[in-house]
Amino acid sequence: MNIPFSRPYITDELDYIAELLGNISKGWNISGDGRYTARATKFLETRFEVEKALLTTSCTGALEMATRLLNLSPGDEVISPSFTFSSTVNPILLVGAKPVFAEIQEDTLNIDPVDIEQKITCKTRAIYVVHYAGVACDMDKIMKIADDHGLYVVEDAAHAVNAKYKDRYLGTIGDLGCYSFHDTKNYVCGEGGALLINNDDKNMVERAEIMREKGTNRSKFFRGEVDKYTWVDIGSSHLPSDILAAFLCSQFEKLDNIQCMRLNIHARYMEAFAPLEEKGIVRLPVVPEYACHNAHLFYMLLDNRDTIISKLRARGVHATFHYIPLHSAHMGKKLGYREGDFPVTEIVSSRLLRLPLYPGMTGEQIDYVISSVMESIE
Ligand SMILES: *Cc1c(COP(=O)(O)O)cnc(C)c1O
């Protein structure tokens, strides 16, 4: 058997794309902000109950937009976990501000509110949170800290589309939320993302639209609010082709179906590996009462992780590690961090193993992964 780590779940995506291409002669366009972009955007806004969503070419792009919207100045500090992907932190450096790393909680592997408070200085402007594996951060505590200190909260919800904190969808709780529709995430269009604006400053929505359209007020023009569009601010090109939006619309129709399939696989792994946890051999994911997760990934923490990965690969099971902590990466060292600065992050990173999990995995494949793990650990 050969079981990949992840695989997008594709059914009838071609139908919408064919419809779009078939209507080009009628004036449908394949550039950004066409019919399917409008439809995908409406879906996000309705389903996740958010005032404003904007499709972007990636979550990285959405995080860049979010960061620029905060109007940070050089010297300003932004608190973020080190246990994340480079995209969470690059935008902070791109605007000349300073990322300040904080430790994660041992149970959820999400940023630790206690350490956030310790990292706050008079220069702190924002807190960036990452909902690891689609399991919510401790948002009430984090929003309270942000409120008390007058800080923005940006949610890197790349893993967390359709997951919840209490009764609210992740990405809709902080001032700004960022989704990813990259191939490896739960809902995909190859490369894609979205920016969610929850802050009630209307100015922020207008600035985001301008920033996304090369610094022009083209969005207003399309809505008939101005009679010409022109260059009004600094911007870039953050909008995806409508072909990708068509793909995404098809994925959104399977939103609950995809999540259900993922949750079933996650539950089977949890059940199968519970005896290993009882014996103290592995530590399984913890989902707090307040979180409704989306089974974005299945991980466990264990000794000799790299040996187990090799043994699993030899059996055709593509298990893998995850983040090299940002503070101990080459770039983190350039920022002045050192190994040993975040012990929980470092231990988790060295012990974490992710198993194949994707909708469409057969029962036989799931069983094979489980038995391969059992044999590799023995
Ligand atoms: C995947 C990922 C990103 C980047 O998403 P893209 O859509 O590929 O830009 C950012 N943050 C986290 C936590 C991710 O897992």
Task: Provide the pLDDT for residue 202.
Answer: 87
Containing 101, the helix (H) or strand (E) segment is: strand 98-102
207 lines ligand 1 (CB under 6 A): no
d(CA 32, CA 15): 19
Protein residue whose Cα sits closest to atom 5 of ligand 1? 59
3-class DSSP state of 246:
helix
Instruction: Ligand 1 pocket test: pick from 104, 111, 180, 188 the residue with the most ligand atoms within 8 Å of its Cβ.
Output: 180
Instruction: Ligand 1 pocket test: pick from 5, 6, 60 the residue with the most ligand atoms within 8 Å of its Cβ.
Output: 60
3-class DSSP state of 1:
coil
**Phi, psi (deg, nearest 5) at residue 298:** -115, 125
Give, for all 378 residues of the chain, the pLDDT tens digit.
999 999 999 999 999 999 999 999 999 999 999 999 999 999 999 999 999 999 999 999 999 999 999 999 999 999 999 999 999 999 999 999 999 999 999 999 999 999 999 999 999 999 999 999 999 999 999 999 999 999 999 999 999 999 999 999 999 999 999 999 999 999 999 999 999 999 989 899 999 999 999 999 999 998 999 999 999 999 999 999 999 999 999 999 999 999 999 999 999 999 999 999 999 999 999 999 999 999 999 999 999 999 999 999 999 999 999 999 999 999 999 999 999 999 999 999 999 999 999 999 999 999 999 999 999 997
Structure tokens at 71: 């109007």
- C-alpha 118 to ligand 1 mean position (Å): 27
Structure tokens at 258: 């995809």
d(CA 229, CA 210): 10
d(CA 160, CA 244): 20
- C-alpha 361 to ligand 1 mean position (Å): 23
Instruction: Ligand 1 pocket test: pick from 86, 87, 323, 349 the residue with the most ligand atoms within 8 Å of its Cβ.
Output: 87
- DSSP-derived letter for residue 125 is E
Q: Which residues contact 213 (CB under 8 A, 6 or more apart)?
A: 219, 235, 237, 239
Task: Provide the pLDDT for residue 337.
Answer: 98
Rg, the chain, Cα only: 21
Q: Ligand 1: which atom is nearest the Cα of residue 84? A: 13
- C-alpha 130 to ligand 1 mean position (Å): 10
Structure tokens at 176: 């700004």
Task: Provide the pLDDT for residue 69.
Answer: 98
Task: Provide the pLDDT for residue 291.
Answer: 98
84 lines ligand 1 (CB under 6 A): yes
182 lines ligand 1 (CB under 6 A): yes
Task: Provide the pLDDT for residue 378.
Answer: 79
Task: Provide the pLDDT for residue 6.
Answer: 97
Q: Ligand 1: which atom is nearest the Cα of residue 130? A: 13
Task: Provide the pLDDT for residue 274.
Answer: 98
80 lines ligand 1 (CB under 6 A): no
- C-alpha 89 to ligand 1 mean position (Å): 11
